Structure 1
Amino acid sequence: MPRLRYITESEKTPAVQKLISSSEARGAPDPRVVSIMARNSKTGVAWVRYWNALLYEGVLPHSLKELCRIQISIAHQCGYCSTVRSNVAISEGLTEEKISQLPNFEYSDEFSRREKAALRYAVLFKSGEDAIDSDEVYDDLREQFSEEEIIELGLFCAETDGVGKFVRSLNVLSWEDACRIDPRLDSKEQRASAGGE
């Protein structure tokens, strides 16, 4: 049971219903979380719109951002975030097989050099307050990304990490329930490689 209630049918405006319907069609963000956030008609609705823009628009491929989102979600053991899948990323070719290789992405042939660089950044982002604060990190990123792309990747990882912690606390789906859905999540190796405990 979530710690904050979902929006009721009588509270839904046409704009909110459109956001929820969009999340149902796309698969991410999960409509349950949209149904909680949308209860705040100002900042909650604005956040859902911002998240959709960050997730689906921009200069980086959506499937690359989806990999980073899942990597960070596993690290902070968010049952909700780590089991949600974007239908758009799936249509772009992202598979559960590839996702299952996230713990060993550096050694997997499934990931491109760009994906590996983005995932290294996501792992570092999650691993500590100053882990990304070095010239070496940015030199590594510049080998694969333009500065415009680095800005988007940084904003995306920040949003995934920060809001992900809040969403985890809402208890939409517990970590234990997520591990029952996907037993691979319970692997300490997977969490450690994702930048978690």
Structure 2
Amino acid sequence: MPRLRYIEESEKTPQARAMIESAHKTGAPDPRVVSIMTRSEIGSAWVELWNKVLYEGVLPHKLKEMCRIQISVAHQCGYCSTVRSNVAKAEGLTEAMIEDLFRYETSPHFTPREKAALRYANLFKQGEQAIDKDEVYRDLAKHFTDEEIIELGQLCAQTDGVGKFVKSLNVISWEEACEINPKLTEARAEAAE
């Protein structure tokens, strides 16, 4: 049971209704979380920002979705770990690729550019000391423009920071997520290594 209630039908503004409908269509963010966030003006502003970060910009959406899922599994957010973007699926993101997210360095599923993004997302989740190094940015610069690095950093920051808050809402527990997708337990163990 979520710790904050969902928006009531009578409370929905046209903007909230449109955001929830969009979430149903895209698959991410999940409509349940959008139904909580749209109860607040700032929550609604975050939904708008998140949709821009996730679906707009210069980086391929599929790449951003892989980084989002990798960070989500690492912090055991049941909700974030089970949500899948329909747009990323249409761009070729498969469950086999998702299963390989924590073996990305050796997986044949990922390009060198995708591996660099996943490496950065992994370091980002470890903390600011892990990314505050010249070699991290030299590695990124081999594959990304400055504009793309800014976008990737924003995606990781939003996923990690807001993901912690969303996890605490208890929309879906880690245990429930592992019942939905038993492979999450294995993925989390690999993320911890």
Which TM bucket (shorter chain)?
Answer: over 0.9
In 2, the alpha carbon distance for the partners of 1:44 and 1:80 equals 17
Partner SS state of residue 131, structure 2:
coil
Shift of 1:117: 0.1
2:9 maps to 9
Q: Is residue 169 from structure 1 mapped to residue 148 from structure 2 by the alignment?
A: no
In 2, the alpha carbon distance for the partners of 1:128 and 1:49 equals 26
CA RMSD of the aligned region, Å? Answer: 1.0
Shift of 1:109: 0.7
The 5 Å alignment of 1:41-120 reads: 42-120=41-119
| Kept after mapping to 2: 8 A contact 1:66/1:86 | yes
2:20 maps to 20
Hey, which bits of structure 1, 4+ residues long, moved more than 3 A? none
Q: Aligned pair count?
A: 193
Shift of 1:121: 0.2
TM-score by length of 2: 0.98
Shift of 1:128: 2.2
Taking structure 1 as reference, are residues 192 and 124 closer, same or farther at Cα in structure 2, changes over 3 Å only?
farther
Q: Is residue 134 from structure 1 mapped to residue 133 from structure 2 by the alignment?
A: yes
In 2, the alpha carbon distance for the partners of 1:83 and 1:29 equals 11
Partner SS state of residue 58, structure 1:
coil
Taking structure 1 as reference, are residues 117 and 192 closer, same or farther at Cα in structure 2, changes over 3 Å only?
farther
Shift of 1:192: 4.9
In 2, the alpha carbon distance for the partners of 1:87 and 1:181 equals 18
Amino acid at match of 2:14: P
2:188 maps to 191
Shift of 1:129: 2.8
Amino acid at match of 1:26: T
2:38 maps to 38
- Percent of pairs with identical residues: 68
Amino acid at match of 1:115: E
Partner SS state of residue 150, structure 2:
helix
TM-score by length of 1: 0.96
| Kept after mapping to 2: 8 A contact 1:98/1:110 | yes
The 5 Å alignment of 1:137-148 reads: 137-148=136-147
The superposition leaves residues 103-134 of structure 1 with CA deviations (integer Å, 9 ceiling, x where unpaired) of 21100110001110000000000012311000
Which runs of 5 or more structure 2 residues have no equivalent in the other structure? none
The superposition leaves residues 145-190 of structure 1 with CA deviations (integer Å, 9 ceiling, x where unpaired) of 0000000000110000000000000000000000001111112xx2
Shift of 1:191: 2.3
Which runs of 5 or more structure 1 residues have no equivalent in the other structure? none
